[in-house]
Structure 1
Amino acid sequence: MGAHNDEGLGGRLSFSAEEVSLAEKCAVLGIYDVPEASRLAFYGLWALQHRGQESSGIVSADNGYLYRHVAPGLVSNAFHKEDLEQLPGDIAIGHNRYSTSGASDGAHGQPVLIRNTKFALAHNGNFPVTTKLEKFLSDRAVSTREMNDSEMMTHVLSGLMEEGLDVDEAVKIAFPMLDGAFSCVAMTPKKMVAFRDHCGIRPLSIATLGDGYVVASETCAFDTLGAKFLRDIEPGEMVVFDEKGMHSYQVVSGKQKLDIFEFVYFARPDSILLGQSVNEVRHNLGKELAKEWKLEADIVVPVPDSSIPAALGFSQASGIPFEMAIIKNRYIHRTFIRPNNILRDQDFKMKLNPMPHVLKGKRVVLVDDSIVRGNTMRKIVKMLYRAGAKEVHVIVSSPPVLYPDFYGINISSQKELIAAHMTHSEIREHIGSDSLTYLSYAGMIRATNLPERMFSASCFNGIYPIKIGANADAIEKVHFART
């Protein structure tokens, strides 16, 4: 795929809803004033692969031109040596995508590039309301029928630039039209900007690298690149990188409301969010569970990989030995639709394999970070019993997921959520475990060592800090008793 090709790539990737776990929309990355910026962007995107696996892309700038390459799949598959050679320059932005708006295929790959204004943008987040963006474009005879939210935002900014505004001025003017969650990097041939919604729902940070700068969704990318963390971009802030250096503008007043699911599940454990180690917070989630619930068991077993820190924390606090009794095949990234249950079960077995010699005759505490639909947990519990477990006690290192998300997670319907329409005992019966335990909301907050006011916990409490428009009409208040 050539660097100049802007067309969609590949066929639609279809997955069984039963097999799809929680997924976060995207990762964004920006490199400014660093030689061979696209190569660094490639390695940075690799470090952020967990945030999106459907497509990967980079746009670079050199001698007044922008060059683009986007392809479906993982970073390692999307880029080859010759692709990076066609992305010259010392400015680059990159993106890994998991779709929550628009089709899950290459047609909406990012970064989005508008050639006539020489402008490109990468977006992490989601706009539950796009009315203002649509009106702006409609007033200028631009059709939005084939656009997703990220593309609408890009075309709005490009439209403002066509009217004579510089990119940073365009962002300031467009801010009131951006009704949703966004952590973005954007670029022109000589300038890069990074900006964040007024609640800071999705993370975005800055680092220095030599005389240049790196912007990334998570700090783990800085470690990979050898960059030095500088600071987080504040909610409502825009940071501009140009030939004069780095400049900051508080476009709107901000109030930090990071999605707490970043700590629970999404972020890599070696990242730092709001000054806190993700790995340490997940340890604390397990310790809080051990304080709240006393269990008689022989071993603590995590559902790999994101539940490992919480399981270690629970083991340490409870004194019950930790065992890696489930092995994950890390080379299986997606489960495609299968024509019958036998083949679907085969896919599951390819992902996770129990160790009978560890499990046989044991009372098992099975730790997972969340239960969304319940189907995967049901299979795991059955797998442990078949491997010889005497008892299986499921503990979850977060509260019940009761409400949908509209800020970039792939759960937009309350009907999908098992805790929204089943009681505690019905869920336990559905997954087939001897017992089921959730961490309390207060315990989750305590584990972060930060005040509740700094988080959006909409999936747990139904409070949405950024308006969600007509989506609110379909949400029902849920009262869930954990026991």
Structure 2
Amino acid sequence: MRPFLSHPFDDDKLKEECGVFGVVGVSDAANFVALGLHALQHRGQEAGGIVAYDPDQGFNSARRFGYVRDNFTKPDVMDTLPGQLAIGHVRYSTAGSKGSTAIRDVQPFFGEFSMGGAAIAHNGNLTNAAALRRELIERGSIFQSSSDSECIIHLMARSIQKNIPERIKDALRRVEGAFSVVAMTRTKLIGVRDPLGVRPLVLGRVGDSGWALSSETCGLDIIGAEFIREIDPGEMVVIEGNKVESFRPFAPAKSRFCIFEHVYFSRPDSILGGRSVYETRRQIGVELAREAPVDADLVCPVPDSGTPAAIGYSQESGIPYAMGIIRNQYMGRTFIEPTEQIRNMGVRLKLNVNRALIKGKRVILVDDSVVRGTTSRKIKDMILDAGAAEVHFRIASPPTAWPCFYGVDTPERSKLLAATMSEDEMRDWIGVDSLKFISLDGLYRAAGEAQGRDAANPRYCDACFSGEYPIAPSDKIEEGFEMKAAQ
């Protein structure tokens, strides 16, 4: 039996796979990293790790399964991580690990090189990792994990460059896909984003002498750091002492930031591309109300991710907003296989209907996405069991019809409801009175593109909706994945 299992009723949501954080120039850097990882916990709840460097004790690491709060708040762990420089990582299983829960797959990864040690933490997914792994193994590399991220360490080891930053550049020029990397040497904190900037990474100032790198601005907020700026797509920053150097090691490319960060992955109190995530999600609800109006009595979010969009829908439509579904805040991960009886309770372990409010009402439910559709059906049943007169679903993203290969845990295409059914067929399968998704143009408008999506030059990566992959998933194509036919 696996000791740590994702909650069995959360498998109908897309999951970001990682969050990264690093800090330099502060006392007890590992404690700052632990706080940052706690703020990024939504990006990965399976496991976490921290590597710290102290001149007297060298590099030290701690890697654990479970929540940050349960592991990296204990003195017996944190006292083993002294120093003014540390990086950390929270994860779900990456594409390369195939759901492995081996501790060796938990980042950051560490390597000892001729010029000293280095550790890296990677958010994203390398689309040519299988090919690179074969090549490296044939040339003598011995892999310790099943993670695609370990390829970066081996590529660094093969580089003939004379310092760690240059070896990182060498390694990352060989990889394809999405990566936001936070790395460290004995004296340097390093951050890199891939040329398309698919995954986020931001820079912050800690007091007078410290610096921080984080997947999201909420990670900076928790340690009282000042947000300075986003790391640009294709940029590498090297921080040593009070100096921040910027490099451009890759060929220029058009930015394609993941639009699903705005829809679901990022925390609503974060800032992405100069925009409040909360405000973008509220505006998605406004656009939904304009595109898909319906007569009803209440607008209710599917908590918590549907809340900002439901507020926007209510404000634009004039239909009252209400908490028709209450979330059990203490329903965390399961650590044992649930019994069949408990499993059959389904989503009720996590969500409960506010019956007194719902009875006799025509209800609009606003959710962030529909993946397999199984949870949507359960929620619909709960609302009808509570006596609702009608149930209407409004979805704050377009139909998810294509898998993501850039760092998101997505089912294979055949298991995505929108890949096999039309919108009307999905409505009938879920069993609701109406089902409407925001259009791709509407989503772009909510994200600040007034004219909607420019089909010839889209600003975001929206492959999970459009099937248009800005980076060819070469490993998956080799396995038989069929790309969308050219229009």
Letter in 2 for 1:306: S
The equivalent residue for 2:71 is 78
Match of 1:108 among 102, 105, 109: 105
Letter in 2 for 1:394: F
Match of 1:221 among 215, 219, 229: 219
Q: How does 1:169-188 map onto structure 2 within 5 Å?
A: 169-188=166-185
Match of 1:468 among 462, 466, 473: 473
Contact conserved, 2:12 with 2:371, CA < 8 A, in 1? no
Residue aligned with 2:16, SS: coil
| Cα displacement (A) at 1:137 | 2.4
Residue aligned with 2:409, SS: coil
Q: Deviations 1:332-379 (Å, cap 9, x if unpaired)?
A: 233565453x32133521200111001000000000010000000000
The equivalent residue for 1:200 is 197
* Cα RMSD after superposing both structures: 2.1
- d(CA) in 1 for partners of 2:130 and 2:38? 35
Q: Deviations 1:78-106 (Å, cap 9, x if unpaired)?
A: 22122111100110101101112213413
- d(CA) in 2 for partners of 1:150 and 1:35? 29
- d(CA) in 2 for partners of 1:255 and 1:465? 10
The equivalent residue for 1:7 is none
Q: Deviations 1:408-434 (Å, cap 9, x if unpaired)?
A: 111151011001001222211221111
Letter in 1 for 2:358: L
The equivalent residue for 2:14 is 22
| Cα displacement (A) at 1:20 | 4.5
Match of 2:463 among 448, 451, 458: 458
The equivalent residue for 1:288 is 287
Letter in 2 for 1:47: A
Letter in 1 for 2:221: D
**Cα distance change of structure 1 residues 400 and 255 upon mapping to structure 2, 3 Å threshold:** same
Name structure 1 gaps, 5 residues minimum.
Answer: 1-9
- Normalised by the size of structure 2, how large is the TM-score? 0.91
| Cα displacement (A) at 1:174 | 1.6
The equivalent residue for 1:4 is none
Bigger CA drift: 142-151 or 100-109? 142-151
- d(CA) in 2 for partners of 1:272 and 1:14? 28
Letter in 2 for 1:38: A
| Cα displacement (A) at 1:143 | 3.0
Match of 1:245 among 243, 246, 251: 243
Residue aligned with 2:383, SS: helix
Q: How does 1:60-459 map onto structure 2 within 5 Å?
A: 60-63=52-55, 65-79=58-72, 80-100=74-94, 101-102=96-97, 103-105=99-101, 106-115=103-112, 117-131=116-130, 133-134=132-133, 137-138=136-137, 140-144=139-143, 146-160=145-159, 163=160, 165-210=162-207, 211-243=209-241, 245-252=243-250, 253-334=252-333, 338-340=338-340, 342-450=341-449, 452=453, 453-459=458-464
| Cα displacement (A) at 1:155 | 2.5
| Cα displacement (A) at 1:476 | 5.9
- d(CA) in 1 for partners of 2:34 and 2:242? 26
Pairs aligned (count):
467
Contact conserved, 1:185 with 1:192, CA < 8 A, in 2? yes
| Cα displacement (A) at 1:154 | 2.0
Residue aligned with 1:474, SS: coil
Contact conserved, 2:371 with 2:416, CA < 8 A, in 1? yes
- d(CA) in 1 for partners of 2:60 and 2:431? 53
Residue aligned with 2:15, SS: coil
